[in-house]
């Protein structure tokens, strides 16, 4: 298993320090630690590298990290531990992260459960709950005990988060169900789903209705609901058979915009908006933007942002990552749109491990409104996919010519390849063969465990090949299943810029590779992207949507995405790239 940078572990330790301090009711400090932990967890670069390069000063440049926390990080990097964490843990020796991951269980309750029942971890918690010991504690009861058991069950089953694609499917089903009610006058899916995060913890749905009771009743009695966790007048919460939680909120029409904004998040984005509202002598909550008692905005999100002096911020950008500053200056990027994609540059067929013919894939793409696709089957080294050698590749090219003629120009099928990158960075087909293709993708399917230096050099060498146009799924990660191989991303992006190579945003639901933060770095560096479905079946062309979300989360505009361009412009860009190498 490749070794990952220390960010995850440091984030966990700092987060636990925060929760321990909360346990002791220390004011304000807990939030500082927890905030720092969140920032670090989402940091692209390893803290070890930052510290190597710029020392304490570099660490302090990380958002939410000041002198105190920077020194704790330094301590960890030097000694492998943080003394304060060790001390706190000694006082309350529990597996804090695991216990507070149980829904409804926070630091205060963990403390009581430890002190009164000696519970230290999930196993102990489960045992005590099953034995009916928890309900005897003051402040707890049978319901809390039940909830704890259900929380443990969910953690065991799902690890807590699901893929975007999965959650989106569930959400759209519920959306359709509720929209069929005459009592529902407006409905929106909010939360991290609306921001299109790559994994989703729960589904948030917002409804405007004059008859909240009827909507709530219908919602909690849906057939997929296995448990009702809350059932109030304006808020209900259920668990679906799939294990996903769904929250439903009902608000009045006049609050729709502010509620949608509030429930879309992110939390950090909202906090910043509220602070901005306060600085302007107003107050923002889910019911509206208020000056004194008077509501000045909140019926729509647009009027809300306007009243705060901001340009409208697209949901995918609401991560408090600089978007508010840009919105103040009306300098937000104009994100690539879901309908901007003109072609798909990675498609497999039944020549290798795809399930449909070239023609069937082309027709499916036409039906989706695409103007061009590249057929990019695997190459010979990938034996299990019956990868193409030079001879079969030539045959396939002839077949593509035939299909193109048959389809009469209604869609253009480009000749391409997903050419394997060998261990030393050379490519799996001779240059002479690759030179005949219009779109050459290159990708890694072996030797995931090379050292960071070797892996980076391997990819750089592949990019220097005069025929390599695009690096497919550049980091190789599979969400929640396989971490990315070790890679110096900054170096790779520099290499892409120097060689004019395109980096892919692979839209396959469990890949989403590149990640949003890497996309942002590409955009900043002027490296172009290709958003591809990686389809192995006609239905997979729908995955393009997830790739576009990902690109939008990385602040990509149309000009950054080559397959959002007309085919001739796209091809001449690739040709220029080859000429530069």
Contact residues for DNA (CB under 7 A)? Answer: 27-29, 31-33, 35-36, 60, 63-70, 100, 102-110, 135, 138-145, 147, 191, 201-202, 204, 229-236, 245, 247, 263, 265, 267, 270-271, 274-275, 278-279, 283, 285-286
Q: Sheet harboring 294-297: ordered strands across?
A: 283-285, 288-291, 294-297
76 by Cβ neighbours in 10 Å (0-12 / 13-18 / 19+) ranks as buried
Shortest Cβ distance from residue 498 to DNA (Å)? 34
| Nearer Cβ to DNA (234/254) | 234
| Nearer Cβ to DNA (279/334) | 279
| Nearer Cβ to DNA (36/505) | 36
The residue assigned the tokens 């230096």 is 453
Shortest Cβ distance from residue 217 to DNA (Å)? 13
Shortest Cβ distance from residue 70 to DNA (Å)? 6
Query: What are the residues facing 294 on neighbouring strands?
Result: 291
**56/234 Cα distance (integer angstroms):** 48
**133/304 Cα distance (integer angstroms):** 49
Closest by CA to 442, choosing from 432, 197, 460, 3, is: 460
| Nearer Cβ to DNA (70/327) | 70
Q: Are 83 and 46 in contact (CB under 8 A)?
A: no
- In angstroms, the Cα distances linking 134 to 39, 119, 140, 210, 227 are 35, 10, 7, 41, 21
Q: Are 530 and 520 in contact (CB under 8 A)?
A: no
**246/237 Cα distance (integer angstroms):** 6
Shortest Cβ distance from residue 66 to DNA (Å)? 3
Q: Are 110 and 134 in contact (CB under 8 A)?
A: no
Shortest Cβ distance from residue 407 to DNA (Å)? 48
| Nearer Cβ to DNA (89/283) | 283
| Nearer Cβ to DNA (180/279) | 279
Shortest Cβ distance from residue 199 to DNA (Å)? 14
- A 10 A CB-CB count for 25 gives 10
| Nearer Cβ to DNA (214/366) | 214
Shortest Cβ distance from residue 105 to DNA (Å)? 5
Shortest Cβ distance from residue 480 to DNA (Å)? 18
User: For 34-47, b where at least 16 C-beta lie within 10 A, e where not — what string?
Assistant: bbbbbbbeebebeb
Shortest Cβ distance from residue 463 to DNA (Å)? 36
Shortest Cβ distance from residue 469 to DNA (Å)? 41
| Nearer Cβ to DNA (65/382) | 65
What is the token pair recorded at 467?
A: 């025929």
- Sign of the dihedral through C-alpha 197, 340, 555, 361: positive
What residues have CB less than 8 Å from 204, skipping those under 6 apart? 189, 190, 191, 193, 194, 246, 247, 249, 263, 264
| Nearer Cβ to DNA (61/572) | 61
- What DSSP string describes 50-91? HHHHHHHHHHHTSTT--HHHHHHHHHHHHHSS-HHHHHHHHH
| Nearer Cβ to DNA (261/379) | 261
Q: DSSP code of 539?
A: G
| Nearer Cβ to DNA (138/579) | 138
Shortest Cβ distance from residue 202 to DNA (Å)? 5
With the CA atoms of 48, 50, 56 and 61 taken in that order, what torsion angle do they form, in degrees rounded to the nearest 10? -130
3-class SS at 471?
strand
């Amino acid at each position: 298993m490749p070794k990952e940078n220390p960010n995850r572990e440091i984030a966990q330790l700092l987060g636990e320090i925060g929760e321990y301090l909360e346990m002791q009711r220390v004011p304000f400090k807990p939030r500082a630690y927890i905030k720092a932990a969140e920032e670090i967890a989402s940091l692209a670069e390893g803290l070890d590298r930052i510290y190597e390069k710029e020392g304490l000063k570099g660490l302090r440049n990380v958002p939410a990290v000041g002198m105190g926390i920077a020194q704790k990080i330094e301590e960890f990097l030097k000694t492998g531990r943080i003394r304060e964490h060790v001390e706190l843990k000694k006082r309350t020796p529990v597996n804090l992260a695991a216990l507070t991951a149980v829904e409804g269980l926070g630091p205060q309750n963990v403390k009581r459960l430890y002190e009164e029942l000696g519970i230290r971890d999930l196993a102990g918690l489960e045992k005590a709950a099953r034995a009916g010991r928890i309900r005897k504690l003051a402040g707890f009861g049978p319901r809390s005990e039940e909830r704890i058991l259900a929380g443990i069950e969910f953690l065991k089953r799902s690890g807590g988060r699901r893929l975007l694609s999965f959650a989106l499917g569930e959400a759209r089903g519920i959306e359709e169900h509720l929209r069929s009610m005459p009592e529902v006058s407006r409905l929106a899916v909010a939360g991290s789903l609306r921001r299109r995060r790559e994994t989703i913890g729960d589904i948030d749905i917002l409804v405007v209705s004059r008859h909240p009771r009827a909507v709530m009743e219908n919602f909690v009695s849906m057939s997929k609901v296995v448990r009702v966790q809350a059932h109030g007048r304006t808020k209900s919460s259920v668990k679906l058979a799939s294990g996903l939680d769904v929250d439903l909120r009902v608000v009045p029409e006049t609050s729709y915009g502010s509620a949608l904004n509030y429930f879309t998040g992110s939390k950090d984005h909202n906090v910043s908006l509220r602070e901005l509202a306060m600085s302007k002598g107003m107050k923002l909550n889910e019911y509206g933007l208020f000056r004194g008692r008077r509501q000045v905005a909140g019926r729509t999100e647009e009027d809300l942002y306007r009243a705060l002096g901001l340009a409208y911020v697209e949901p995918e950008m609401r991560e408090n990552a600089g978007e508010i500053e840009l919105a103040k200056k009306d300098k937000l990027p104009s994100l690539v749109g879901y309908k901007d994609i003109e072609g798909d540059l990675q498609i497999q067929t039944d020549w290798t491990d795809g399930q449909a013919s070239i023609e069937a894939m082309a027709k499916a793409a036409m039906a989706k409104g695409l103007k061009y696709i590249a057929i990019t089957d695997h190459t010979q080294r990938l034996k299990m996919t019956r990868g193409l050698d030079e001879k079969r590749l030539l045959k396939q090219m002839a077949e593509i010519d035939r299909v193109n003629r048959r389809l009469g120009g209604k869609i253009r099928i480009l000749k391409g390849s997903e050419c394997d990158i060998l261990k030393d960075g050379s490519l799996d087909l001779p240059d002479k063969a690759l030179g005949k293709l219009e779109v050459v993708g290159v990708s890694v399917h072996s030797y995931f465990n090379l050292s960071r230096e070797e892996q980076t050099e391997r990819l750089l060498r592949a990019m220097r090949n005069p025929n390599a146009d695009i690096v497919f799924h550049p980091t190789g990660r599979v969400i929640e299943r396989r971490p990315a191989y070790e890679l110096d991303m900054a170096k790779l992006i520099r290499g892409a810029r120097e060689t004019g190579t395109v980096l892919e945003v692979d839209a396959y639901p469990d890949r989403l590779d590149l990640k949003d933060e890497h996309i942002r770095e590409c955009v900043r560096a002027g490296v172009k992207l290709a958003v591809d479905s990686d389809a192995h079946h006609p239905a997979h062309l729908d995955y393009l949507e997830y790739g576009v979300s990902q690109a939008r989360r990385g602040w990509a505009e149309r000009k950054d995405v080559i397959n959002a361009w007309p085919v001739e412009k796209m091809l001449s860009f690739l040709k220029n790239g080859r000429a530069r190498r």
